[in-house]
Amino acid sequence: MTNVEDAGPAPAERAGPVDRYTPRRDVSRVPLQGAHVARRCPLRVQFDLLPPPTGPGTESVMTRVRIDESSAFRVAVVAELRRANPEVLFLCDDVPEDERVTATVQAMVGGAGLIVGGRLPADERGRRSGRPDVLVRAGTRPDGRAAYLPIDIRYHKTLTPPAGENREPGLVSELGAPSPAAATTDPAWALRALRNDSLDLAHHHRMLEACGHATAERWGGIIGKERRVAWVDLDVPRFRATWKGHDTESALERYDFEFAFRLDVLAAALDGESLVEPVLVDECGSCPWYTHCGPRLIAGDSVSLLPLHGYVQWHTHRKAGVGTRLDLARLDRRTALLRDALPPATDVAGLVDLAAGVAPGTPVADLVGGQEKQSAVLAEHGVSTAADVVALDRRVLALHNRMVGGSLAGAIDVARVAVWGNGALHRRRGVGAVDVPAFDIEIDIDMENAIDGTTYLWGALVDGVYEPVVDWGRPGELLEARLFARFWTWVERQRHAAHGSGRSIAFYCWSAGAERGALTSGAAMAEAHLGMAGVGDAVAAFVAGAEFVDLLQVLRTQLESGGSNGLKAIAPRAGFSWRDEEPSGDLSMLWHRMAVGGDGGGDQAAAARSRLLDYNEDDVRATAAVRRWMRSTTFPAVEDLDAVLGASPAAG
């Protein structure tokens, strides 16, 4: 994919400074686009309108299940809204599509308090169409029109215990009074980072502006699993700006940029030009067009195939002429180390130009003038003269102060392992021997969650014996609270027994974010529903301490794989294999659906439960296998691959 900054000149009527939030092309032929477009891969948006000859791949069963579950949740929430607001609710769900707009407009003109299932009038100028799940009246505009705020219903959590990046207090209102005027701040909960939901709300706000029924305060609401309206200020900068380094931008700013770019992509495609190309991003796993893009990514050796190299990193490298993993592997690592250390304000291009125009022996201190810090950094990296500057890798210098996802020198090492590592993990530079924290008692744990996010199973491996804590009841907060209480009691019993006998103990997991989140959420549920006061603080101390070990982080800080670091990718290298032919976290959610629904507790449910327990057991056994493998294996050093640059014809 390419950035909107590559999308060509702005139309003549927009002469002057380029507005990055406005389409640069004539988009009048582009069909009206819905809210989902701003958060979807631009190439997918293009293929949805103009499919490639190969056609889409088959929709996965899991994708269909998620859609069905979300639809059922929306129906249930709408029913609750109807019960809680019998007098002010205006429903138009059953109105034919071509009549729904008229019904919605009439309701807004009439000042209806609540509109469910409406469709906003087309925004022809903005090329938008949209149907927010709910519109709630929020006062009257200066022109006398009723003003409305959009609310969307989403089948996921919108609130979380305040921790990490989620610290903004949750402003919430109940379904019986779903308006900001009735909202209160709940200090026990924080608003989650709801990027995609916020983009949808921004889309609907822009449509309300276009039809003259928007509020002056740009807010939107999300009804999630909690069945409360969580309010989002669309003007608050809370998302990292895609093209502004570490700056942040609001949901409306992000939406305007993303939507305008996709309109440009579609306008170009209708003219027979493609502004975008395949890049591996998170969305690829659920995209019907990946069967078309995937082979092209592999055949082209895309740099996006490397871990932590998404669209932004791919675009940054591409602008510098580094389009493949091989290109990145070939870059001069010494120059990359200098690039990583130079102050952001360094005028690298100016420095190179100066060096090229003076005598080779000119001291670099003379070139940078009084910039002592720059001079010191250059000297530390062996750059003492103008000749040394001229000898630096120009492609690396072009990446100075650009977003490459951290250390460029580290990214080069990852690429070298991917290209020349022959499938082996390599020790990172400076790592003499892999060190895995060791304890007297080592317990491996893993959790499984339902489609709605409810944790229903904790598995543990203790002295080679698998011990599950599971609840096959209906997913929800109460089940999560009860399951957490049982598992936390078990964890505390193991810890107290170890401490009482003078032995050290640790619980190992792979990619601790999931387990940490499940424990934190479970503790909050237990405090709210079971009265387990103080357990949240106890869990916070546990997951921040030495007895909670993220084995993935242990691996990442010492080894480079050159590819995926997921357990399903690493464990086979340790000689481990799952019993299930399709071991998958996504598929496990489908199995859980069968396990708790199935045929009323009959053979199908029993088979699904057995499959889930086997799968979870294999996950914890895989973690243990990787831990043993990391301790017993002598891994080659990534420094060994430096020689390939001079020894391999492929290296150039």
| 563-566 long-range contacts, CB within 8 A, separation 24+ | 563/305, 563/306, 563/307, 563/418, 564/307, 565/307, 566/511
* 643 Cα distance to chain centroid: 36
* pLDDT score of 280 more than 90: yes
Mean of pLDDT values over 381-387:
93
CATH architecture of 441-632: 2-Layer Sandwich (3.30)
Amino acid at residue number 180: P
| 170-174 long-range contacts, CB within 8 A, separation 24+ | 170/230, 171/230, 171/231, 172/226, 172/228, 172/229, 172/230, 172/231, 173/221, 173/228, 173/229, 173/231, 174/84, 174/228, 174/229
Q: Which two tokens stand for residue 393?
A: 């890798």
**pLDDT band at residue 652 using 50, 70 and 90 as cut-offs:** very low
252 near 232, Cβ under 8 Å? Answer: no
- pLDDT for 598 equals 52
Roughly how many angstroms between the first and final C-alpha of the chain, as a whole number? 27
Where do the CATH 3.30.420.10 domains begin and end in the chain?
A: 441-632
- pLDDT for 5 equals 41
Give the SS3 label for residue 556.
helix
Q: Give the whole-angstrom CA distance, residue 571 versus residue 428.
A: 19
* pLDDT score of 8 more than 80: no
Q: Which of 1-5, 354-358, 381-385 has the lowest mean pLDDT?
A: 1-5
Q: Give the whole-angstrom CA distance, residue 561 versus residue 14.
A: 48
pTM above 0.75, yes or no: yes
- pLDDT for 187 equals 79
How many residues can be counted in the chain?
Answer: 652
Mean predicted lDDT score pLDDT of the chain: 89
**pLDDT band at residue 163 using 50, 70 and 90 as cut-offs:** low
Closest CA to 430 of 409, 456, 400: 409
Which of residues 522 and 21 earns the better pLDDT score? 522
pLDDT one-digit tens code per residue, 165-198: 556 778 899 999 998 889 888 877 788 878 999 9
Q: Is residue 216 exposed (0-12), middle (13-18) or buried (19+ Cβ within 10 Å)?
A: exposed
Which of residues 487 and 243 earns the better pLDDT score? 487
Q: For the stretch 592-618, what's the b/e string if a residue is b when 16 or more beta carbons lie within 10 angstroms of its beta carbon?
A: bbbbbebeeeeeebeebbebbbebbbb
Mean of pLDDT values over 482-503:
98
Q: Is residue 35 exposed (0-12), middle (13-18) or buried (19+ Cβ within 10 Å)?
A: buried
Give the SS3 label for residue 586.
helix
Mean of pLDDT values over 402-406:
82
Closest CA to 439 of 502, 345, 387: 502
- pLDDT for 244 equals 58
* pLDDT score of 11 more than 70: no
